[in-house]
Amino acid sequence: MDLKSEIKKRRTFAIISHPDAGKTTLTEKLLLMGGAIQVAGAVKSNKIRKTTTSDFLEIEKQRGISVATSVMTLDYKGAKINILDTPGHKDFAEDTYRTLTAVDSVILVVDSVKGVEEQTRKLMEVCRMRATPVMIFINKLDRVGKDPFDLLEELEEELKIAVCPFTWPIGSGNDFKGVYDINNKNIQLFNPHKGAKTAPILTTDELDNPELLEHIEKSSLEKLWEELELTKDLYEPYNEGLYREGLLAPVFFGSALNNFGIPELFETFIQIAPCPTGIKTNDRIILPEENKLTGFVFKIHANLDPNHRNRLAFFRICSGKFERNKMYFHTRLNKRIRFAAPASFMANSKSLVEEAFPGDVIGLYDNGSLKIGDTLTEGEILQFTGVPSFSPEILREVINKDPLKTKQLEKGVRQLTDEGLAQLFVQQPGNKKIIGTVGELQYDVIKYRLEAEYGAKCDFHSLPFVKACWLSSDNKKEFEKLLQLKSHVIAYDKDDNPVFLAESDWMIRITKETYPSVNFHNTSEFKN
């Protein structure tokens, strides 16, 4: 098959949600539908359930599981589906944000009882930033949830995206009767006792059909009809262009647990979700059908086997064909590199891959030369953009507890932060190391892993900062002045870019007023 046909077949996406909305359940149902797994329960939720006291063994176990379930590939009706898994726990949100840089679209799961939640909002911000096409699945219709009109209004207002319902629910909770498929004009009946079996489809839009009335009361059908009329006035008609630009989200209702409403979602997804398209680099847009290989690393799992210190780098192919044992160019290190045992992922197992195409994610074993954001090409010097670091919310100083192990600590901190577990900032004088995260749990993980994998002991000293902003300015003199006069709140990131450590948003505003030519950015990638 030629490159273009391979690209057209691929759908690379992530399922995202606030924890507990049903991401894992939906993923599993998609894998079951695609035949990638045979039994329910095969996909383990990779969330760390114990949130108050972190359980290290659990974390270790989860690391193992999340390697296997990080990418799930399946073939469905001629399409090659790559599902990129994201951690369920909010403290690992940064990992999720980075994974979103490697997908072509997302399915966002919203709990119909809870509506839009904190993590839903944050994830959508990242999607908006990258103009990622979004489809929304409103889950748990078997429970008494919010009114569908209220839910859609909440989505539009809070997620700042226009919505277009593709299905419409008939009742909820105990009165949940099914969904009306607006485009195909049919009703799919809900029968919770039939479990994963697809309910019968009655192809009619005549709502006094006696066959329908056997299942649904006339008053419910009349209500449905009225609601459908209203939807026509209230929501944008579907427009592929707007969906592809991330401005309009098709919405589906259902119940993942009951495998209900999922075929409609998945079939539509395959039809309209984008295959790999052009991706920005610092220099030009790379088109997937270009013959030469390009791609980037968006995630790293380190020290999979403590005896070998190997790492698995997750590499997203953006153009051309990847071939095992071929020499590729590592643009950051300016060196050639070859991979003898690249891995592809199939549901929850890995296997050796000979070749891979745009949209695919493969695992590259390496002993430390690959970092998050690294680009591989066939010789061209370029760097993919859009794999930024995000401002951390908690910042703490690393305190070495065993002076004899200073080197190990240094190495461990560097490697674990290269892996993307947290961000490292260095402050002068004194080479002070500051670790920034979005959640408490990472500090426990880092402390535990430094000791288990590097034999180093440390403590973390709380700092009063709640944000780290990257800085830029066209006014060199004023910029230098700020860096000098505010050196107590300036640190440098892994690429030696200055960041401003802020105690509050107010502090940023005040500093900005004093140095009007300096820009403060929430991510490490910005345009002035």
Which two structure tokens, joined as six digits, stand for 139?
Answer: 């889950």
Question: Is residue 31 a contact partner of residue 43, using CB atoms and an 8 Å limit?
Answer: yes
Tally Cβ neighbours within 10 Å of residue 454: 21
Q: Does 524 bind ligand G4P (CB under 6 A)?
A: no
Q: Does 256 bind ligand G4P (CB under 6 A)?
A: yes
Checking DSSP bridges between strand 105-111 and strand 134-139, what pairing results, if any? parallel
- DSSP letters for 423-462: EEEEETTTTEEEEEESSTHHHHHHHHHHHHHH---EEEEE
The minimum distance between CB 112 and ligand G4P, in angstroms, equals: 9
For the purposes of burial, counting CB atoms within 10 Å of the CB of 125, is it exposed (0-12), middle (13-18) or buried (19 or more)?
A: middle
Bridge partner residues of 502 (DSSP)? 467
Q: Given the rule CB under 6 A, which of 139-147, 199-207, 320-328, 414-422 is the region that contacts ligand G4P? A: 139-147
| Per-residue b or e along 279-295, where b marks 16 or more CB atoms closer than 10 Å to that residue's CB | bebeeeebebbbeebbb
The minimum distance between CB 170 and ligand G4P, in angstroms, equals: 16
Checking DSSP bridges between strand 311-319 and strand 361-366, what pairing results, if any? antiparallel
Q: Does 24 bind ligand G4P (CB under 6 A)?
A: yes
Which listed residue (8, 11, 12, 25) binds ligand G4P by CB under 6 A? 25
Nearer to ligand G4P, 9 or 44 (CB): 44
The minimum distance between CB 421 and ligand G4P, in angstroms, equals: 21
Nearer to ligand G4P, 45 or 105 (CB): 45
- Considering only residues 142-171, where is the footprint of ligand G4P by CB under 6 A? 142-143
Q: Does 20 bind ligand G4P (CB under 6 A)?
A: yes
Nearer to ligand G4P, 195 or 306 (CB): 195
Q: Given the rule CB under 6 A, which of 135-143, 244-252, 409-417, 512-520 is the region that contacts ligand G4P? A: 135-143
Nearer to ligand G4P, 19 or 373 (CB): 19
CA dist list (Å): 46 to 80, 206, 236, 315, 402: 23, 45, 36, 20, 33
Which listed residue (45, 119, 268, 408) binds ligand G4P by CB under 6 A? 45
Bridge partner residues of 491 (DSSP)? 499
Nearer to ligand G4P, 24 or 524 (CB): 24
Which two structure tokens, joined as six digits, stand for 81?
Answer: 């589906």
Q: Given the rule CB under 6 A, which of 13-21, 270-278, 315-323, 437-445 is the region that contacts ligand G4P? A: 13-21
Q: Does 84 bind ligand G4P (CB under 6 A)?
A: no
Which listed residue (67, 138, 251, 257) binds ligand G4P by CB under 6 A? 257
- Please, what is the end-to-end C-alpha distance for the chain in angstroms? 43
Q: Does 90 bind ligand G4P (CB under 6 A)?
A: no
Q: Given the rule CB under 6 A, which of 134-142, 328-336, 372-380, 465-473 is the region that contacts ligand G4P? A: 134-142
Question: Which residues contact residue 40 at a Cβ distance below 8 angstroms, ignoring those fewer than 6 apart?
Answer: 28, 32, 196
Which listed residue (6, 12, 13, 21) binds ligand G4P by CB under 6 A? 21
The minimum distance between CB 447 and ligand G4P, in angstroms, equals: 26
Nearer to ligand G4P, 22 or 342 (CB): 22
Question: Is residue 100 a contact partner of residue 14, using CB atoms and an 8 Å limit?
Answer: yes
**How many whole angstroms separate alpha carbon 79 and alpha carbon 271?**
10
Binding-site ranges for ligand G4P (CB under 6 A):
17, 19-25, 45, 47, 88, 139-140, 142-143, 255-258
